Amino acid sequence: MHHFHYTADSLQCETVDLSAVAQLYGTPTYVYSAATMADNYQRLVRSLAGLDVQVCYAAKANSSLAVLRHFANLGAGFDLVSGGEIRRALAAGAGVKTSVFAGVGKTESEIKLALENEIFAFHVESEPELARINHVAGKLGVKAPIAIRVNPDVDAHTHAKITTGKSENKFGIPLKHASAAYEACSRFKNVRIRGVQMHIGSQLTTVGPFVEAVEKVAPFVAELQAAHGIEYFSLGGGIGIVYRDALASGAQAWWDAQPAGQCPITPEAYGAALKSLLAPLGLKILLEPGRFLVGNAGALLARVEYLKRGANKNFLVLDAAFNDLVRPAMYESYHEIVPLRRDTTRRALVADIVGPICESGDCFAKDRQVQEVGEGEYMAFLSAGAYGFAMASRYNARTLAAEVMVRGGTFELVNARESFEQMIVNEKVPTFLK
Ligand SMILES: *Cc1c(COP(=O)(O)O)cnc(C)c1O
């Protein structure tokens, strides 16, 4: 469920007409639906009702201050992966006491920042990291709460760049070495074992791999509970969303296309499959969803600059490019691209939908059928709320897009479009070239 829909052939987010947003703030602009984020959050929490669940929203999917604050208000903590993300959580007025700090390369200053702000736990990826956390905690005179990330070696059946739970990935400690890693903690006087963590990958479209991973790890979790009295089990993130037919209600066509016997992922299916495996553990359950909470809650608005007609191919050139939304170029991913003003009387157009960047890779969609549109009209990329703005760059000296949040019939600019002056503020020509 999301709150992007046509009303009288105008694309709306909740009850805001997106053409009005595009006209007021220009393009490219990201628009987020507060109601969609809240609905996704509540649905996931409800799916595991009866268990002690803490959602730690994976801020890397979208770390805009407005989004972080919205989830904090709903009761979420965060899964944070850098000092910058910790500072973003603090800047959003959220605090990090129910948040976890993850990532394979935590620096001393990042560890210090997390400890000073009373992070709920560090998710540890290696023994050298454990030693470093112990060292920094000792200097501060505190005990650092930790969980070790175990790698269950299951195939998440997702894109190679976003699978993380196979033994060949750089993440976590193999399950067979995990006991030894926990034993090693006793050598570090300034750490305190608090839980155990796993994360198998992103954009999983069936519940099977989650079940397989929990079944594999659960006996070890029970052992840890007996040996170390742990408080929680973190299942990581990875719940996938529907990108195709994102506007169709329930995206039934996409579900119907999934292999028979595989349970397409929904929060309800996820909860139903995992509850009976998790309940006997009697532990707090941490969930770290990123994409699921924000993916379908965001759209990227773009303006049509040119319709370039060719002998064999048409190109629809937009003012958004892969610096704004890199997913199609990086993961060959699909986004629904629709006009803000729908006109069913117009002819269909088959075109490559591209941005202005000087690389062939700046292509959002090949041979896509859309309604015929022309210069000055607006298009929306749907399901662009996760790994969209968060992965944006300034390539081709393009400034970062604006961001707007909608709630009901109101909307506010939550991140002004970057200016050229802001883009170059830290740069200078060296004296020896003057
Ligand atoms: C990326 C990541 C997440 C979030 O993944 P989604 O697919 O966006 O849900 C959660 N936990 C960890 C450890 C991650 O690396």
Q: What is the pLDDT of residues 99-129, one digit of tens each?
A: 999 999 999 999 999 999 999 999 999 989 9
Which domains, ranges and CATH numbers included, belong to the chain?
34-292 (3.20.20.10), 296-423 (2.40.37.10)
Instruction: Assign 285 a pLDDT band (cuts: 50, 70, 90).
Output: very high
CA 114–ligand 1 middle distance (angstroms): 19
What's the mean pLDDT in 311-328?
A: 96
Is 60 a pocket residue for ligand 1 (Cβ < 6 Å)?
yes
Asked if the bond preceding 289 is cis, omega within 30° of 0, the reply is no
Q: Which residues on adjacent β-strands are paired with residue 318?
A: 304
Mutate to test the pocket of ligand 1, among 60, 82, 170, 171 (most ligand atoms within 8 A of CB): 60
Query: Which contacts (CB < 8 Å, 24+ apart) does range 209-215 have?
Result: 209/154, 209/155, 209/156, 209/157, 209/165, 210/235, 210/238, 210/270, 210/273, 210/274, 211/273, 211/274, 211/277, 212/152, 212/154, 213/152, 213/154, 213/165, 214/274, 214/277, 214/278, 215/277
Predicted local distance difference test score (pLDDT) of residue 360: 83
Residue-wise over 167-206: b if at least 16 C-beta within 10 A, else e? eeeebbbebeebeebbeebeebebbebbbbbbbbbbbbbb
Is 102 a pocket residue for ligand 1 (Cβ < 6 Å)?
yes
Q: Are 55 and 75 in contact (CB under 8 A)?
A: yes
13 is catalytic: no
Chain segment 142-171, per-residue pLDDT in tens: 999 999 999 998 987 766 666 666 666 667
- Residues in the chain, overall count: 434
Alpha-carbon distance of 314 to 310, in angstroms, equals 5
Alpha-carbon distance of 226 to 359, in angstroms, equals 56
Chain segment 344-402, per-residue pLDDT in tens: 999 999 999 999 998 888 999 999 999 999 999 999 999 999 999 999 999 999 999 99
Helices 208-228 and 267-278: crossing angle in degrees, nearest 10, is 30
Predicted local distance difference test score (pLDDT) of residue 82: 98
For the cut 70, the answer to whether the pLDDT of residue 261 exceeds it is no
Question: Chain-wide mean pLDDT for the chain?
Answer: 93
**C-beta atoms surrounding 275 within 10 Å:** 15
CA 25–ligand 1 middle distance (angstroms): 31
Is 291 a pocket residue for ligand 1 (Cβ < 6 Å)?
yes
For the cut 80, the answer to whether the pLDDT of residue 262 exceeds it is no
Q: Which atom of ligand 1 is nearest to the CA of 386?
A: 8
Task: For the full predicted model, state whether its pTM sits above 0.85.
Answer: yes
Token representation of residue 138:
């000792």
For the cut 60, the answer to whether the pLDDT of residue 420 exceeds it is yes
What's the mean pLDDT in 396-423?
A: 98
Predicted local distance difference test score (pLDDT) of residue 224: 96
CA 204–ligand 1 middle distance (angstroms): 11
Closest residue by Cα to atom 2, ligand 1, is 237
The amino acid present at 61, given as its one-letter code, is: A
Is 85 a pocket residue for ligand 1 (Cβ < 6 Å)?
no
Predicted local distance difference test score (pLDDT) of residue 370: 96
What's the mean pLDDT in 230-237?
A: 98
Chain segment 2-52, per-residue pLDDT in tens: 999 999 999 999 999 999 999 999 999 999 999 999 999 999 999 999 999
CA 351–ligand 1 middle distance (angstroms): 34
